[in-house]
Every structure is written in C-alpha cells, then in structure tokens.
Amino acid sequence: MKLVVTEEQRELRDALRRFFADRSPAAEVRRLMETAEGYDPKMWAQMAEQLGLQGLAIAEEHGGAGFGVRELAVVFEEMGRAAVCAPFLATITAAAALEAGEGGHDLLPGIADGSVIATLAVAEDGGSWEPGDVRAVFEDGVLRGGKSFVLDGHIADLVLVAARGEDGVGVYAVEEASRLTRSLMPTLDQTRKLARVEFDGVPARRVGGADALRRALDVAAVALAAEQLGGAQRTLDMTVEYAKVRHQFGRPIGSFQAIKHRCADMFVLVESARSAVLNAAGAADESPGELPAAAALAKAYCSDAFFHTAGEAIQLHGGIGFTWEHDAHLYFKRAQGSRQLFGAPDRHRERLAALAGLTDAAGAP
C-alpha cells in the first residue's frame, strides 16, 4: 500500500475545504449544535447533489460513485477540521454494513442520493461496541430490546440494528424508523447527537451477518480516525497561529523554547496520526485481511493524538482558550466524545494485541 495522497484526492480535499469553510463556519456549528436535529438539511442536500459525498464509496451498481475508503478518509478529515454537524458518519457506517451484507442492497440508492439518513445501532446500556456483547433479539420477524449511543438515531430514516437471531449476531434493517421509540441522550460533545432507541416487536429484515457488522465497525473506526486527524490538524494550526501573534515580554510566545517544543510534539502526533489513517484506509480498500488491525491501531492512536492536541491548544491559548467563546472548546469536547465512540482507545489496543497474537481475545497474556 502507498501511504501517499493522489492529485485527485488533493483536489477533493481543496474543494471540500472551500465548501465547509463557506457552509460550516464556527458560528454555524454553534447554531446547529443547539438545535434538536443537529444538522442543516439544505447543506445535507448539497453534499449529496453537488459533491456526491453520501454515495462516494457506494458501488456504482447501487447508485454511488464507486470510490473507496481512501476517498472517504479525505472527506472525514475535512469534516473533522471544520467540526461539521451532519449525520454523515452515521450514514456511512450504515452504508458499509449494507455493502458488506448479503441483503439490503436495495436500500443503498436512497443513501447515495441523500434522501435517506441511516445509522447503525450496536451499543447497549453497557456501552460496548463488541458484536459478542449484543443482547437485542430478532425472532418471529420482529426486534426486541434497546440500543444506546446511536449516532443521529433521533432523525434516521433507516436504522440498522445489531441483534441475535437464529444464525447468531446479525444486522437487521428497520425501514419504518417512526415505529421506534427514540430519545436524545445528553452528551459532552454537543456537535454530535446520540440517541437511545427502543424496539418492542418492531418488524425488521436481516441484511447481513456478523462479518458485515464487523466490517462496518472497522470502516467506521477508520472514518472516525480520519475525522480525529482533521480535528487534531485544526487545533495544531490554530495554536501555531496564536503563538505567532500573541506577545509576552515584547516577543511572540512562539519564540520561547518551551512553546516550540510543545508545538513540535503536537506536529509529530498529527503526522503520525496521518500515517495511521492512510494505512488503515489503504487496508480497507486493498487488503481486507489487514483492516481489523489497521483500524484498531488508527482509532486508538488518533483518539489519543486528538485529545492531546486539543488539550494543548487550550493550554497554549492561555485564559482565552478556557472560555466557551473560543473554538478550542469545541474541539476539546469533540475529542473527548470521539475517544469513546466505537470503543475507547484501550479497547482497541487490546484488540490489536489479540490480533497480533500477544494476548487472547479477552485481553489476557
């Protein structure tokens, strides 16, 4: 795999940066995170109609553009850089499950054209994203149970549920999402909405097995890692810019050795995170067998890198960095929320160790 960005991907990045700078400035992010829906339907439609983002990695025969996770990583990095409020991560995760499954391909065209917001419901009250911890049940054609921490579950038109059926854990599509009982959950990161979803006898159909679920979670981990990379890059950029213009003792604070060292450490974290994302995205497209380990590594490393750079951004901005009016606050809270989503860094490190044969599946030596 080549850990490089192609010219086409650079052009995509530049176009996206211009689009999000225009449609998702900080003021708009702050407005949207206060709304119940948490996104702008007009921008969502533009993302589909003008940029084709929702269908970017969906196969052409299913209405998409047929690109891969490498291109998705570019999109998520730019969305993370701008802290975009949109149900994109939820929808892409659901699309990955449908693409990997043996059924439900008829649901992909609606996702690709932006008319359907979808999500994948996996975690339950314990907060685990592991397929083995799923307790929701599918029997007699209906689902019973509940899910927590469902990305944009309060507005999704299509909800894919991880549940136990006759063949073990699988993915089941609830196409009449209005029949679900849904409520918003309180979150630290207000830019990303999470919901509690309950179902008692809701009709559903099986669209994939455990392999499709695991593939979707791995793709989601890579996508989130790319988003974290974008956020880390933004916090580094804003910190370096501030260090150039903030003066103490008659000189820019960036000229002090202690500040230089901390900014240099942030830079190393960001560039290492970039390598991890490129490796994982490449594995998703070219070496599926390597994806589980690459995804675990990327999610664990990028979670820690973003959390550290966001914290450093607040510290190095001094008093202004601690105020709600400064954008550093938005990124710090998103960094903390993203660390837990799809599994905390420690859980991914445990999985990576197990895949490398250093421990058993439970994490014991």
150-196 pLDDT tens trace: 999 999 999 999 999 998 999 999 998 888 999 999 999 999 999 99
* 5-54 per-position pLDDT tens digit: 788 999 999 999 999 999 999 999 999 999 999 999 999 999 999 999 99
Mean pLDDT for 62-76 is 95
The DSSP symbol for 185 reads P
CB of 337 closer than 8 Å to CB of 359? no
The class of domain 118-209 in CATH terms is mainly beta
**What gap in Å lies between CA 18 and CA 35, rounded to an integer?**
24
Whole-number average pLDDT of the chain: 93
Amino acid at 85: C
The larger pLDDT score, comparing residue 13 to residue 320, is at 13
Q: How many CB atoms lie within 10 A of CB 114?
A: 20
Q: Backbone dihedral region of 144: left (phi > 0), alpha (psi from -120 to 50 degrees) or beta?
A: beta
Mean pLDDT for 328-347 is 94
DSSP string, 35-79: SSS-S-HHHHHHHHHTS--TTTTS-GGGTS----HHHHHHHHHHH
* 243-292 per-position pLDDT tens digit: 888 888 888 877 788 999 999 999 999 999 999 999 999 999 999 999 99
CA nearest to 24, candidates 117, 76, 86 = 86
Indicate if the pLDDT at residue 364 is higher than 60: no
Mean pLDDT for 298-310 is 97
How would residue 345 be classed by pLDDT, with cut points 50, 70 and 90? very high
Domain range list for the chain: 7-112, 118-209, 212-355
Per-residue confidence (pLDDT) for residue 361, from 0 to 100: 56
Q: How is domain 7-112 classified at the CATH fold level?
A: Butyryl-Coa Dehydrogenase, subunit A; domain 1 (1.10.540)
| CATH number assigned to the domain covering 212-355 | 1.20.140.10
* 126-162 per-position pLDDT tens digit: 899 999 999 999 999 999 999 999 999 999 999 999 9
Backbone angles phi, psi at 259, to 5 degrees: -70, -40
Per-residue confidence (pLDDT) for residue 319, from 0 to 100: 76
- pLDDT-above-90 percentage for the chain: 83
Per-residue confidence (pLDDT) for residue 363, from 0 to 100: 44
The larger pLDDT score, comparing residue 315 to residue 318, is at 315
Indicate if the pLDDT at residue 365 is higher than 80: no
CB of 176 closer than 8 Å to CB of 137? no
User: pTM for the full model?
Assistant: 0.94
How would residue 115 be classed by pLDDT, with cut points 50, 70 and 90? very high
